[in-house]
Structure 1
């Protein structure tokens, strides 16, 4: 359970200058009882650390690198665009093309605004929903993580859950009181809440497929229920598709489920690996944004030409016949092999997979929400994680995260991974 000496030295130095030695909590490896390695370079399906060890990577920068690491189509684009400047703070053609692409691909989005992160996108969508409805209350779901803005860091998943503190210090009680948290996949609880307070609720925000408590799928009809109840009470429905958007298909989960949220939040894939976010939806709602409307939102680097151009290059690759169909093919290959392996080993488990996103739980119970996720065997996960890392397979250093397959992965990569899994499971 040790990383190489150069990584250890870098981490020791980092801790003297950076809180926890990392710039995002989950990177600290606290949940698996060790220290992180530091990356020197990455290419295709593999990353290489500063000590020279190479791993098959199933994180892909936590989702954006859907083509794999450093694909030529993106690195060449960044190189060419950077020759003309890396930031202007003035409108540029790439942001218009990105807006056109998003509105063409996602039917619910009539207008869209760019920002710089998923946190900015969800924070701005919440402010917009409140401004449009003139209501204060927001509904979110336990285990769904929507970034670290004050209104949404309540009973959050992902990094906050990993450290056992789902509510962050520094969030005023008044902020938390305006955010109501319900269990995901509990339609009765949602109905009861709206019958009591529906006229006061501005919006529901939901990770349509929650991917910060592992990878949780909705019960049949649940997302339809969210749509119908918000329309009944005049609230807005916000789909957080920062992870699922443009990864599970051109229109994300809403395309797979044939749903029409009022607002949607995006990030990850549309930046080609560079910092990015976006939110969009109904034109009448989006027109409430400044400079046309009274809801203020701004960003110096929003619509950055490098991020827009890199994202467009990535989306064009995905739009080829070998794009999403190939990702689904790879995902199915991996799922089939992993299910067979887990059955052979006789280890209690659940596997959730859609397209190129997956999560293996060490529990043989249905996973409906974060309460079910918390029942799994964390000791087995920790042993499994380190056994895989030791043999060159990098999975998320937390049982609350989703795995990602990229177009750079091959069937041989997946089969090699399953072989390592087999060895790792034999030691448990």
Structure 2
């Protein structure tokens, strides 16, 4: 049952646990940031301190389970199990159950002010819509389920600059469990269609009409759920409308037009923890309104809200980036706003394209303010998800792109 102690004065023990209990242990340990061996150690100590054995646990189908415990703890546990007349498998299952009961799952921390993530670049075709959807999906995944995430030195691996550790290693982590609203602010309505919905009719109510002071009803009535089990009831969409092509013209006659998006979305904010805005490829008044909406509000932590800039590893993205940041800096200065950069996402990256791609990626990572917070590969799963009108993280949850979206969501959280 036990091997000689390792360098950390622990010994390997091998027993059995039912699969469902082992999975609960794995998830709860990850939720609490505790190593499994530490959780088992605590559970055995708690179980051993009880005056008698608790209720029996169903251990049918139990299979091999191993961990490392402090030297001597397993022998003590074995003696107590013998005194109580139960098997080691039953005793271990009871100990794990005791630990789970005394270490409940943490509740999802809800921000007092909903985070506002403005996904933008005035250059079209860089994949803003995919990043908006994928980041929102990653924020909304179930907090009681583990999902593969790459959290280590991924950028360093792409640039062949790491410390010898495995930069591509995956880690299973609980979802973030946030209530998320995706706002399709682009008149082309790509986000709406990609998630399987139809753009709002031109003659009906829309976000554009609410921003222009011509609302025909409640904006909340236009919001639709993304019905995938993976997201529960946490992921929603405000569909786009082609009338947004006329938004800049309409805003020119609106008082305090920079705050028009904020006025429109304010009634929805109490229902969501994060609101992601998929911006049009524009430097017009609508972009001013989006950036203003992402400004840091009083009592809001720096970096909670702001602009997330999507680029590609090629030269034209750099030109568009300069134009966008100039507009943001003008708004900062003219309106005295605190506008935070959440980072740069290099999208649709493929190192096989040679020097242009690799040198451009290096140039983006050389920018330290704002820094690169995500590199998303150009792979088939995203295109397939779009064709099937399904969220990427529901269609291909273990794909490299999905793993990258989860890493991105955590980088900006």
TM-score (normalizing by structure 1)? 0.26
Higher-RCO chain (CA-CA 8 Å, sequence separation at least 6) = 1
TM-score (normalizing by structure 2)? 0.27
The higher radius of gyration belongs to 2
